[in-house]
A and B are shown apart, each in its own frame.
Chain A
Amino acid sequence: MLWFKKKKEKKKEYTGKPDRGLLIFAHPTTVISVQELLRDEGYDIRVVSPPPTYRTGCDLSVEFPFDAESAIVELLHRVGLPPMDVVPITSKGTEPLQFVRVKDFGRYLMVRAANMKITVDKESREIVNISGGGCPDVPFLATSMLGKRLREAPDPGEVGFSLCAYSLNTAREEMIRLIGD
């Protein structure tokens, strides 16, 4: 009765070499561009917090399969997104929060991701308020995005620099998913 026999999981052979690596960048939002590029190229990647030695208090990095290091680094140099550093890792980093909360004010809809909120007029798709956050690019992003339609406003993932901008982008993407741009 072979099918009753629990199949033993094959233990991964320890080679002494790390199988994952981290790409370190100066700004969290560079990671958004890198994430999109590498996913489009079919790489198995995760956006995670960097190890303690690289932490300043507002950072993101990209975890990638270490055997693809040369190809990935060459690609990033070619498109003008070179990493500050590449390090092998043995433990998994924490992924940023992707949960969102939605509040319906009737004519207006508010979406919150982590500490960032975006509020949009559902009829005109105009961004009417941006709230929360604590990094310096938040007031800058608010000034740049307020009064514009979702599709016309600058993308916080492209013009922002911080984890707050990353969260604002998460909230914006959910808003577009819910009501269109």
Chain B
Amino acid sequence: MLLLAGSVPVEGLSLVMGHIDYSPEGIEIGGRKLGINRGNEAMMTAACQVCELLGCERPVGLVAGDIGKREGSEAIYRYLEENLPILQLSVMTLHYIMPDLKLNKRVLQSVKKMPRKPVLIADAGSMYVAKAGGDAVFYDVFTPDIGELTFLADEKADHPAFTRGAIFHMEENVTELIQRAYAAKNAPKTMFVKGKVDYICHDGNVVDTIDSPCVETMEAVGGTGDLITGMISGLIYAGKTPVEACMVAGRANRRAGELAQPNPATQISEILAYIPQALSEVLESSR
């Protein structure tokens, strides 16, 4: 099973879990409809598109409403803590969630009780709490953007907002930031660094870079990183290695952007529509 977990911006929505259905209008989990939005909904849609294209079982979504008041996030942490040992997971992606060091550590304790550890992918709040808790090496894949990479490279910061200025200003030297993150054990085995040039890293080394097509306006579009995380999740579930999944997802994301021809006001749903075509093209060319 591919489990995708995180909060959605619906105040008061209690925990919902079930296979994810998707359409151009949005996703549906356990009978609950959710519109396309940046964050978990975009990530889940991209994962569903990969699974459909590659003939895999639909991913399972675990969501709860949270607009920052923590209730939904706490419900997700507690569900995972209590139920992970009995779930048959091969891949688990944790995304937007309120960072909570204690609760996340309890979830990781439950992962250790699973008969087989799933491939663990984290982005957004789940990546922040993993790094702040000193647990990054327990994960398999992180997908930071360049600002989040400076946070991973700063061994003293426990949230991107606390990245020290001197490190924030090192953004031009991405490879040094990557080395710092790995040296401080603040990076997992595989990392996809999103930026003008995408860097795919494994065990501390840059194993691939992607710089074309270059659609600069994508940087402004909220949710493009979520699509990469969703595609990586689906591709690993379909049998790709984490590095292979990063190589395909990064190229497909750029191609989808090229097809959508976005401007800085474009919304993520307009790029999502091109993911199946872009993925097909990239997978075909990599054969």
Which residues on A are within 8 Å of B, measured CB to CB?
A: 27, 49, 55-58, 94, 96-97, 99, 103, 105, 107-108, 110, 112, 114-115, 117, 119, 121, 128-140, 142-143, 160-167
**Contacting pair A136 B159 (CB below 8 A):** no
Report the Cα distance A110→B222, complex, angstroms: 12
Task: Return B89 CB to nearest CB of chain A, in Å.
Answer: 22
CB-defined contacts of A167 to chain B, threshold 8 Å: 160-161
| Selected A-B contacts with CB under 8 Å, 9 pairs | A58-B100, A94-B162, A107-B264, A114-B147, A115-B145, A115-B147, A128-B265, A135-B99, A136-B7
In the complex, identify which listed stretch (B64-72, B178-186, B237-245) lies at the interface while the others stay far away.
B64-72
Q: A132 and B96 in contact (CB under 8 A), knowing A57-B132, A119-B264, A143-B37? A: no
Task: Return B210 CB to nearest CB of chain A, in Å.
Answer: 19
Q: Which of A140, A162, A163 touches B9 (beta carbons < 8 Å)?
A: A140
Which residues on B are within 8 Å of A, measured CB to CB?
A: 7-9, 37-41, 66-70, 72-73, 96-102, 104, 123-129, 132-133, 145, 147-148, 151, 156-165, 168-169, 216-217, 219-225, 263-267
**Contacting pair B9 A129 (CB below 8 A):** no
CB-defined contacts of A165 to chain B, threshold 8 Å: 68
Report the Cα distance A49→B99, complex, angstroms: 15
**Contacting pair B160 A115 (CB below 8 A):** yes
Report the Cα distance A55→B168, complex, angstroms: 22
**Contacting pair A27 B160 (CB below 8 A):** no
Q: A132 and B147 in contact (CB under 8 A), knowing A49-B162, A115-B160, A163-B161? A: yes
Report the Cα distance A138→B162, complex, angstroms: 17
CB-defined contacts of B163 to chain A, threshold 8 Å: 97, 114
**Contacting pair B162 A96 (CB below 8 A):** yes
